[in-house]
Amino acid sequence: MNHFLAITDYKPEEIQSLLDLAIRLKAEVGSGGNAPLFKGKVLGMIFQKPSLRTRVSFDMAMRHMGGDALYLSPDEIGLGKRESIADVARVLSGYVHALMARVFDHAHVLELAQWASIPVINGLSDYNHPCQGMADALTIQEKFGKAKGLNVTFVGDGNNVAVSLMHVSVLLGWNFTLASPDGYDITPPAVDLARRIAAGTGSALKFCRDPHEAVKYAHVIYTDTWTSMGQEEETAKREKVFPPFQVNARLVAEADKDVIVMHCLPAHRNHELTDEVADGPHSVIFPQAHNRLHAQKAILARLFGVA
């Protein structure tokens, strides 16, 4: 691994190997702690968008493994504005051992990787969210094992989180369904890529407008905020469109009896997800959030070449 920019950059067996490593590193924490495999390593963290989970999970992943992390705020970097992305990448390559970037424009993280001589991790872009996708897959496997043919349903906006969930699902042989309002679908290139992968893994893809149809037989129901950062001017419009796609007790009752409910957080409670479901017996939203730490340790370990 040179960079971690998209889950689809890797083969199914490579993704599964990363998940197996994450499971092992997570188990080590509960039995005395991780070995200091990152000793002497520093992760530079570039943030254009704020995040509780991304910042703390990467920071603590480095600390658990004996390394350190350096937070770089938007004002300090001005990525592509105050200084060119190519120059930022080359300067930081001489200071730290890897970069994690949480950006608005996917092209920015690709350009960082193009010019950096150190590994670059996509901490989120407008196209995808691969670190979240790995934590999601880890959470699903903890519940259901490595079973093929699981039914994973995303209800809501076909956003960056949905893209990575779709891609990791088809790589691992799970069926993926999206229920979204008209005009809020996953981008065609991302779907086309998923179809090509699914042809080799046997996964099925389905796209519909009815969330009740989508959750039939679902083992996983996943949702996300109706309005992501950078879309604030669309809030009023989206608040009118998305209420039928709320994940509530009625919808959950229509899925498999052992269904788990997921959300990448932060949640706008009683909008896309009701309190009753978020805090109910099917919810795994907090274990899912905690798994960001362990999935990212595995990614970092492979990029540093220590596991």
Which residues carry out catalysis?
102, 129, 132, 224, 264, 292
How far is Cα 297 from Cα 94, in angstroms, rounded to an integer?
22
Contact (Cβ atoms closer than 8 angstroms) between residue 231 and residue 190:
no
Contact 154, 166 (CB under 8 A): yes
From the number of C-beta atoms within 10 Å of its C-beta (0-12, 13-18, 19+), residue 192 rates as exposed
Q: Residue 147's CB: how many other CB atoms inside 10 A?
A: 13
Query: Helix (H, G, I), strand (E, B), or coil: what is residue 189?
Result: helix
Q: Are strands 120-124 and 42-47 parallel, antiparallel or unpaired?
A: unpaired
CA 270 – CA 89 distance, rounded (Å)? 41
SS3 34: coil
Residues contacting 210, CB < 8 A, separation 6+: 179
70 alpha-carbon distance from chain centroid: 21
**Facing residues of 223 across strands?**
155, 263
Q: Residue 13 pairs with which residues in a beta bridge?
A: none
Residue 114 parent element (H or E): helix 106-115
What helix, strand, coil percent values describe the chain, rounded to 5?
45, 15, 35
